[in-house]
């Protein structure tokens, strides 16, 4: 049997990793370079990655069969790959250890590599540049095949869920307009937690890391324009146990978690909750606190790479009689869903409103309320050139 060369192992490892997750990446030289950068020249780690080519989640028994390694070797290699951001290794509900190969992003290698406290080293900057190039290549694919991708985009589930903030800048409660029933929601639908406090109080295991988006942009020489706090990337339950064990985050108690989330809200950040496989009926795995300029979800949409697909239970409502046309809400809105009309009054585009409540938080006239009602926000990426 012909022995594979190191370069061949890098390529086939990239092929396996690029197939993982919600987004399939083309196997470019950039993707291969990312694998080289993170794995280094550990051929055995590359071999273990290749063992996931047919099944992305495996037990120890399954990995022994697919890799050809013994249990002790697998445990050592998987542990190393977990610390590098490639493998999620946590026991399932039955207590059986499961090893899952992570995708390049959403949520995977990119997030974990930039979630810990960084040093600003040359290696970190080089990896940040590689991921930026990878996203540029993905944008080019999207733009080249725009029309063919529309049905896939339309059928995709919501990537994340916006959880509205509850207070204005002066500490008053944002006015909520209740509805008796969400139009289009199935009878058996159980509404997920609608405040960060409700989410935090569900979990005994909570961990906080650094915002991987703001940290990566800083490495690229683009520090956050809003100077937002950085340590507010939360993970819960099994995810918290994993991120803290691998050094990507630190364990915190509920009190500190709520303090950090309040700090994020005061800075105008958007709470975005994530659920396993986008199933909102399952408990949250994490909360990101996103700023308008750094957030990858917002940037990849604005840059023409991916659509914005979001679930929300709120919609901003502007009182035209109270609005003085100051434009504060226009400046803060993360999706440019608000503009001043010909009369100088703010108007909101429902199709683009995430219901995050940031506009209501900073409105100096308290002219914005939040109306309840389950919605899916779907915004196509701009078409940058003809197909």
pLDDT tens for 65-114 read 999 999 999 999 999 999 999 999 999 989 999 999 999 998 999 999 99
Does the pLDDT at position 264 exceed 90? yes
Looking at residue 279, what is its pLDDT? 84
Looking at residue 385, what is its pLDDT? 65
Q: How confident is the model at residue 38 (pLDDT cuts 50, 70, 90)?
A: very high
Q: Is 299 exposed, middle or buried (0-12, 13-18, 19+ CB in 10 A)?
A: middle
Q: How confident is the model at residue 4 (pLDDT cuts 50, 70, 90)?
A: confident
Looking at residue 22, what is its pLDDT? 85
Q: Is the Cβ–Cβ distance between 157 and 278 less than 8 Å?
A: yes
Average of pLDDT values for 151-161? Answer: 93
| Radius of gyration over every alpha carbon of the chain, rounded to an integer in angstroms | 22
Looking at residue 2, what is its pLDDT? 61
Q: Which residue has the higher pLDDT, 189 or 21?
A: 21
Looking at residue 93, what is its pLDDT? 87
Q: Is the Cβ–Cβ distance between 244 and 253 less than 8 Å?
A: no
| CA pair distance 102, 18, nearest whole angstrom | 9
Is the backbone of residue 237 left (phi > 0), alpha (psi -120 to 50) or beta? left
Average of pLDDT values for 308-321? Answer: 96
Domains with residue ranges and CATH for the chain: 1-103 (1.10.10.10), 146-313 (no CATH)
| CA pair distance 246, 71, nearest whole angstrom | 20
Q: Is the Cβ–Cβ distance between 78 and 62 less than 8 Å?
A: no
Average of pLDDT values for 210-224? Answer: 97
Q: If you average pLDDT over every residue of the chain, what do you get?
A: 93
Looking at residue 114, what is its pLDDT? 98
Which residue in 374, 375, 371 sits closest to 177, CA to CA? Answer: 371
Q: How confident is the model at residue 292 (pLDDT cuts 50, 70, 90)?
A: very high
Q: What does residue 330 show for φ and ψ, rounded to 5 degrees?
A: -65, -40
Which residue in 34, 37, 40 sits closest to 77, CA to CA? Answer: 40
pTM for this one? Answer: 0.92
Describe the strand order of the beta sheet including 97-101 as a list of residue ranges.
Answer: 57-59, 97-101, 87-91
| CA pair distance 15, 25, nearest whole angstrom | 9
- For residue 57, CA distances in Å to 52, 88, 318 come to 7, 9, 47
Q: How confident is the model at residue 189 (pLDDT cuts 50, 70, 90)?
A: low
Average of pLDDT values for 30-58? Answer: 96
Q: Is the Cβ–Cβ distance between 372 and 177 less than 8 Å?
A: yes
Looking at residue 96, what is its pLDDT? 94
Does the pLDDT at position 387 exceed 50? no
Beta bridge partners of 283: none
Q: How confident is the model at residue 190 (pLDDT cuts 50, 70, 90)?
A: low
Q: How confident is the model at residue 281 (pLDDT cuts 50, 70, 90)?
A: confident
Looking at residue 1, what is its pLDDT? 44
Number of neighbouring beta carbons within 10 Å of residue 328: 20
Does the pLDDT at position 30 exceed 90? yes
Q: How confident is the model at residue 180 (pLDDT cuts 50, 70, 90)?
A: low
Share of the chain above pLDDT 90, in %: 88
Looking at residue 194, what is its pLDDT? 86
Looking at residue 3, what is its pLDDT? 77
């Amino acid at each position: 049997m012909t022995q594979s060369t190191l370069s061949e192992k890098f390529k086939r490892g990239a092929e396996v990793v690029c197939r993982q997750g919600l987004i399939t990446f083309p196997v470019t030289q950039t993707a291969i370079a990312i694998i080289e950068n993170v794995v280094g020249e550990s051929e055995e780690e590359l071999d273990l990655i290749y063992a996931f080519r047919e099944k992305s989640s495996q037990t120890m028994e399954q990995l022994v069969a697919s890799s050809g390694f013994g249990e002790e070797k697998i445990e050592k290699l998987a542990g190393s790959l977990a610390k590098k951001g490639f493998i999620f290794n946590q026991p399932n509900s039955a207590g059986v250890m499961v090893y899952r190969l992570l995708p390049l992003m959403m949520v995977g290698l990119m997030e974990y590599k930039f979630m810990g406290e960084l040093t600003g080293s040359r290696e970190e900057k080089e990896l940040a540049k590689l991921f930026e190039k990878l996203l540029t290549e993905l944008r080019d694919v999207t733009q080249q095949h725009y029309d063919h991708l529309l049905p896939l985009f339309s059928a995709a589930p919501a990537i994340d869920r916006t959880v509205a903030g509850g207070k204005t800048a002066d500490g008053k409660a944002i006015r909520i307009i209740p509805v008796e029933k969400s139009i289009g929601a199935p009878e058996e639908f159980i509404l997920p937690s609608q405040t960060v406090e409700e989410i935090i109080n569900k979990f005994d295991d909570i961990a906080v890391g650094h915002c991987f988006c703001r940290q990566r942009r800083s490495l690229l020489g683009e520090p956050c324009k809003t100077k937002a706090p950085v340590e507010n990337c939360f993970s819960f339950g099994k995810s918290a146990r994993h991120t803290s064990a691998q050094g990507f985050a630190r364990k915190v108690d509920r009190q500190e978690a709520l303090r950090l989330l309040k700090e994020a809200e005061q800075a105008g950040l958007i709470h975005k909750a994530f659920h396993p496989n986008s199933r909102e009926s399952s408990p949250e795995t994490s909360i990101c606190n996103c700023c308008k300029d750094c957030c990858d979800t917002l940037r990849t949409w604005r840059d023409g790479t991916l659509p914005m697909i979001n679930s929300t239970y709120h919609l901003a409502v502007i009182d035209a009689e109270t609005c003085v046309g100051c434009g504060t809400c226009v400046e803060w809105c993360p999706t440019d869903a608000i503009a001043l009309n010909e009369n100088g009054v703010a108007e909101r585009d429902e199709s683009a409103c995430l219901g995050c409540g940031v506009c209501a938080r900073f409105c100096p006239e308290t002219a914005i309320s939040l109306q309840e009602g389950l919605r899916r926000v779907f915004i196509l990426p701009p078409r940058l050139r003809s197909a």
